[in-house]
Amino acid sequence: MAKTEKTGNPIVETIKTVVYALLIAGVFRTLFFQPFWIPSGSMKQTLLIGDFVFVNKMAYGYSYASCPSVIIPRVGINLDAKKLCGVFDGENTRLFGTQPERGDVVVFRHPISGHDYIKRLIGLPGDTIQVINAVVHINGDAAPQVPDGQFEEMMELQGPQGLRPRCANGAVGQGGICIKARAIETLPNGVSHAVLNIGAQASDRTGVYTVPEGNYFFMGDNRDNSADSRLAQTAGGVGFVPFENLIGRADRIVFSSSGRSMLFFWTWRSDRFFKAIK
C-alpha cells in the first residue's frame, strides 16, 4: 500500500509564503531599489506628478535613511526610518559610502520632518551657491542657461492630491494651456538639464550659501515652484542636507500616470515608461 505524504496546514503555509515574500521584498527595498511616487511638480519637466521611479540605493552606500519608512495613517502605522534604524544615526557617515555627483537627481530624507524629497544636487560640500536674477552661481560662476522655448501642460487637477499647476501666462481656466518658460542649464561638470521659470519672485535672488562639509545643496528643476535648499528647514524649506540623509539616486521612470489613480489606464503616459532620468 502506497504511503500517503503528509501535507502541512494550508493556512499556515499561505501565511509563511506571505511572510517570506514580505521579508524578501523588504530586503530588496532596503538594499537595492526603492519605488518612489512623484507627488508634486517641483521637478517638472524632468519628473511629472504621477511618475513612478526606481531609486538606486546602492549608488551612495547605506545609512539609517536607507531603511524604508512604513507609514499608513489610515490604520495608525507610523514606522519611519528613524524609528527602525535610528541606532545608526548621528555620525553623518555611510557604509560603502560613495559621493554623489553634481546634477544627480536624488531622493533624500528631510532633516527635520523625515519626509522623502526628490531634488537635483546643485551644491557640493565647500561650494558657495547664490541665485542672481534666476540664474544659479556656483563658486562665483554662473551656470549658463540657454532659452529652450516653453513647457506646456493642461490646466487640470493633477495627481491624487488634485494639484493645479502655476502658469507664467496668468490665470488659465480649466482645460486651458498652462505655459512656463524653459531653459537648458549646464552645471560646471557638464551636466545639462531643463529648468522652468514662471516669473520674478524672491527665490530668484538670494544671498550666498556656503555648503558645510558633509552636506549638500538641492534645488528643484521647476525653480519657482520648489521648496528646496534656498529656504531654511525651519521656514518650510530643505536647507543643507547631510550625507547620511541621502536615500539614493533616481535613475529611471518605470511607470507614469496623469490621473488621480494609477488604475485609470486611460491616463497612463506610455511615452514615459522606462525613461531614463537625466
CATH number of the domain that residue 112 is part of = 2.10.109.10
The predicted pLDDT at position 113 comes to 87
Exposed, middle or buried: residue 66 (CB in 10 Å: 0-12, 13-18, 19+)?
buried
pLDDT in tens, 170-195: 889 999 999 999 999 999 999 999 99
* Residue 10 in domain: no
Given a contact cutoff of 8 angstroms between Cβ atoms, the answer to whether 154 and 180 are in contact is no
Whether 119 is catalytic is yes
Task: Give me the catalytic one of 40, 42, 63, 203.
Answer: 42
* Residue 76 in domain: yes
* Residue 6 in domain: no
Provide the domain limits for residue 140. 16-276
Q: What confidence tier does 53 reach under pLDDT thresholds 50, 70, 90?
A: very high
* Residue 4 in domain: no
Q: What confidence tier does 22 reach under pLDDT thresholds 50, 70, 90?
A: very low
- pLDDT of 143 > 60? The answer is yes
* Residue 2 in domain: no
**Collapsed DSSP state (helix, strand, coil) of residue 244:** helix
| C-alpha cell read off for 224 | 519657482
The predicted pLDDT at position 128 comes to 98
- Total domains in the chain come to 1
The predicted pLDDT at position 25 comes to 46
Whether 44 is catalytic is no
* Residue 205 in domain: yes
The predicted pLDDT at position 68 comes to 74
* Residue 7 in domain: no
- Determine the Cα–Cα distance for residues 202 and 191; give it in Å rounded to an integer: 26
Task: Give me the catalytic one of 44, 57, 119, 180.
Answer: 119
Q: What angle do CA 53, 59, 63 make, to 5 degrees?
A: 100
- Determine the Cα–Cα distance for residues 95 and 53; give it in Å rounded to an integer: 24
Residue 34: asked if its preceding bond is cis (omega within 30°), the reply is no
Segment of 32-36, 91-95, 153-157, 181-185 carrying the highest mean pLDDT: 181-185
